[in-house]
A and B are shown apart, each in its own frame.
Chain A
């Protein structure tokens, strides 16, 4: 069980001429065993923050730590990520079994481990199938199984339900909640949908133009938003509900 911490993290893209600061001095702590929801509009820098945490984009400043130590980049990876789009996050030319097995650490019985993981995400008997043979929801379950293959303690979920049929979105959210409780995972849950974030998170952080503008317990943030952007977000989400 580990704590994920961002200290003064900045990410800049481009060179001299046109520089974009996608993430701007973010301090954020995801306490061990809890779910922090990160919400914000498209382009506010949520995905970039996530990709920076797992080393897919370089940091311009600051550091990301797990229990105070840098995130390991070789050997066992205690920090894993699930992507938005289950259509592009699985290699179309590899079977489900091979995709998951690849992420299972060496020295484990891979077959047995893959079977265990597929059972965990409620997808038994699909080992020899290709992604094209699965529905979007099933693919996202495979992606979750792959992320769990390295037995991570911390998971980053970036918009994992926004590419799914609404009828399946609920089932995937329920699965994430169950897994978090049974495996005692630390989760940074990213979504542009405040209602979805509210449903899964213990605390909510709001991102706007690369900065965290508000962070607190879910009920407090929703009942008494401090930042003007949070208020706007809340108003537009409530307008949508029945």
Chain B
């Protein structure tokens, strides 16, 4: 919510909604008498100091009537929305509750209803339910319901396919309880957003019905009726129609924009990376180590108040390189990747002696142009990387429109082309779908496709396959490998799974407690690893010679807490080789024959450890 208020449009929309709601509560209390005061001496007057918007055919003050009508107008819009949402929820969740067969019938009916324009549906229902406030309420409520039912249905279907719902059902949890405990809380966010937008539409629709004389009937009045009355005298004094008209438009727009602002706040910000973290430059010490390098990271640290989870990381990559970073959760892998992409958020502080990409100094804010074009990022969870309320094609094309100023049509054509490039079948149809209509693997492909909207030289992929079923994991990894082969794109792949990194990468960086402790060619991982932590990681994975009678080797203890590191080597509390020196002195990362290792006892053979 805080994020919504920080954008000017979001703040303005929220402010207007608040004013409208306040008026709805207060206006009838304060000004009912003024609005109903008949003054036969002042019939159908134009605007004046006494009557800001003139008077009606009984000499009543139109400005006050508009203010007082706020309550009825807003009340009816909200009631109609509530009705629409309630019916929509019932229809949308019915397939889950009633089972597949009844569900299919309801879903088909909803799809047919959705195909009709909302206003047409409202008019149709208005005729059925009859003229009047209640009739209008029912008409608009039911007209909103199919859209909501479809949204609910697709959202619910997405969550209902997740393992925690399956697990609950296997455990014998009833369908109703599954719905209320597991499904609805996890789809509430987008539903609330859409309900807010729908409230704006209901407001406009109700004004329309009343204007046509099908809605609110005298002596009650809402904005639509005032508009209808004012229109009769539009040539004499237009302000009588103008005042309620402005009220309808402003209030309707405010609800709509507020809803969309929330939607943006929920989904988009994370992806576009409104990174605001401060960046401190350290004085340059060392000269350029490798001028052909595309990405150079030197002595990179990422700090938060009280901790420094990344401490002095240095590495470089050339065009077409595939480098993997492995390590336990919390070792600083993701933060390193985020720092490279300049996506570390407040209150994080990134420091580096050098952080350059394609010759641009990332520390100097030259990254905006590169992010989204030359540098692409793929995150672990593709669901949270997309805005749930926007079509996939539009989200991809916005990247090109934003960065390259492409027009809408060309950007969409490229989006479809890139969806095809990541091997999504029927890309044109897929582009028109919403994120929840995609499976996890398809979303991850779409995410990679989004990265390809520019011409990336580097793809940073943070656990791109962890949230996916193994069936899909390999396909996504193969896709990354083929993109790399086709366009000489470099890949920085972060994974907890040492075997994944081994398959995809040429070089492996092993991280522990925020530092690189070993850097070696992937092919030498199993034969040439020298750091006890790397060896322990490899030993923890059983192979075909593991003794089945003994428990598996596990790395004792817990991963180091970056807020509370021991004075010497961070791995010392868990290391079988640790001695007095390890406990007091932190070993440097030393280069030797194309590999780097940080350990006082890197030359002790593996057998001694296991």
**B496 and A165 within 8 A (CB):** yes
Proximity bits, A210-228, B CB within 8 Å = 1, else 0 = 0000000010001000000
Q: Which of B166-174, B264-272, B273-281 contacts A (4 or more CB under 8 A)?
A: B166-174
| Shortest Cβ distance from A164 into B: residue | B496
**A85 and B163 within 8 A (CB):** yes
**B554 and A174 within 8 A (CB):** yes
Q: Which of B178-186, B317-325, B337-345, B391-399 contacts A (4 or more CB under 8 A)?
A: B178-186
Given contacts A195-B542, A237-B544, A170 and B552 within 8 Å (CB-CB): yes
**A169 and B540 within 8 A (CB):** yes
**A167 and B536 within 8 A (CB):** yes
- Taken together as a complex, chains A and B put the C-alpha atoms of A54 and B170 apart, in Å, by 7
- A49 beta carbon closer than 8 Å to chain B: no
Residues of A within 8 Å of B162, CB to CB, are: 88-89
**B168 and A102 within 8 A (CB):** yes
- A242 beta carbon closer than 8 Å to chain B: yes
Residues of A within 8 Å of B544, CB to CB, are: 194-195, 198, 222, 234, 237-238, 241
Q: Which of A5-13, A23-31, A74-82, A107-115 contacts B (4 or more CB under 8 A)?
A: A74-82
Residues of B within 8 Å of A85, CB to CB, are: 163, 467, 469
**A93 and B186 within 8 A (CB):** yes
**A165 and B163 within 8 A (CB):** no
- Taken together as a complex, chains A and B put the C-alpha atoms of A238 and B498 apart, in Å, by 16
Q: Which of B41-49, B58-66, B230-238, B470-478 contacts A (4 or more CB under 8 A)?
A: B470-478
Shortest beta-carbon distance from B453 to chain A in Å:
28
| Shortest Cβ distance from B162 into A: residue | A88
Proximity bits, B138-180, A CB within 8 Å = 1, else 0 = 0000000000000000000000001110111111110001000
Residues of B474-489 whose CB lies within 8 A of A:
474
**B163 and A102 within 8 A (CB):** no
**B555 and A195 within 8 A (CB):** no
Contact of A199 among B472, B526, B542, B555 (CB under 8 A): B542
| Shortest Cβ distance from A240 into B: residue | B543
Shortest beta-carbon distance from A61 to chain B in Å:
19
Interface size class of B (residues with CB under 8 A): 35 or more
- A69 beta carbon closer than 8 Å to chain B: no
| Shortest Cβ distance from B555 into A: residue | A167
**B167 and A81 within 8 A (CB):** yes
- B217 beta carbon closer than 8 Å to chain A: no
- A94 beta carbon closer than 8 Å to chain B: yes
**B166 and A77 within 8 A (CB):** no
**A93 and B172 within 8 A (CB):** no
Given contacts A83-B166, A89-B167, A199 and B470 within 8 Å (CB-CB): no
**B163 and A88 within 8 A (CB):** yes
A-B contacts counted at CB < 8 A amount to 153
Contact of B542 among A43, A135, A173 (CB under 8 A): A173
Shortest beta-carbon distance from A205 to chain B in Å:
17
Contact of A42 among B166, B466, B471 (CB under 8 A): B471
**A170 and B542 within 8 A (CB):** yes
Residues of A56-102 whose CB lies within 8 A of B:
56, 74-77, 80-81, 83-85, 87-94, 99, 102
Residues of A167-215 whose CB lies within 8 A of B:
167-171, 173-174, 177, 192, 194-196, 198-199
Best-surrounded residue of A89, A91, A242 (most CB of chain B within 10 A): A91
- B328 beta carbon closer than 8 Å to chain A: yes
Proximity bits, B440-476, A CB within 8 Å = 1, else 0 = 0000000000000000000000000011011111100
Shortest beta-carbon distance from A21 to chain B in Å:
15
Residues of B529-545 whose CB lies within 8 A of A:
536-538, 540-545
- B527 beta carbon closer than 8 Å to chain A: yes
Residues of B76-109 whose CB lies within 8 A of A:
none
Residues of B247-263 whose CB lies within 8 A of A:
none
- Taken together as a complex, chains A and B put the C-alpha atoms of A43 and B474 apart, in Å, by 10
- Taken together as a complex, chains A and B put the C-alpha atoms of A222 and B469 apart, in Å, by 26
Contact of B540 among A81, A163, A166, A194 (CB under 8 A): A166
Contact of B181 among A43, A94, A192, A238 (CB under 8 A): A94
- A141 beta carbon closer than 8 Å to chain B: no
A-B contact pairs, 11 of them (CB 8 A): A42-B469, A42-B474, A56-B170, A84-B470, A105-B172, A165-B496, A166-B537, A167-B328, A167-B536, A170-B554, A192-B470
Q: Which 4 A-B pairs have the closest CB atoms?
A: A241-B543, A103-B171, A89-B163, A170-B552
A binding-site residues for B, Cβ under 8 Å: 42-43, 47, 51, 54-56, 74-77, 80-81, 83-85, 87-94, 99, 102-103, 105, 135-136, 143, 146-147, 149-150, 159, 162-171, 173-174, 177, 192, 194-196, 198-199, 218, 222, 234, 237-238, 240-242
